[in-house]
Amino acid sequence: MAGVGAVEGMIVASVILRHAHRGWWILMIPLALVGVGAIVELVKMAVASRERKTLVEQGIDPDTVAKKAPTLR
């Protein structure tokens, strides 16, 4: 059965990762930050796309509308 080998492989991989991260847990912090940063950027992009679509639906050229200045808050 091909499925049994795949399941065993996944179990072995999970055990190896579980034991391997004991000494390398500090590397999870940058990976988590990258993941959170990617999610934040995706949300920003979705909001910008929605705003642009709304302007087009209203008949306004989105390229002529002044953009908000970024803040460091």
Residue 39, domain member (yes or no): yes
Give the structural domain span for 33: 25-62
If one counts the domains in the chain, the total is 1
Question: Is residue 51 predicted with pLDDT exceeding 80?
Answer: yes
Q: How far is the C-alpha of 41 from the C-alpha of 38, rounded, in Å?
A: 5
pLDDT band of residue 28 (cuts 50, 70, 90) is confident
pLDDT of residue 11: 76
Decide which of 67 and 4 is more confident.
67
pLDDT band of residue 68 (cuts 50, 70, 90) is confident
| pLDDT tens string 32-45 | 899 999 999 999 99
Q: Quick one: what percent of the chain has pLDDT higher than 90? A: 37
Residue 29, domain member (yes or no): yes
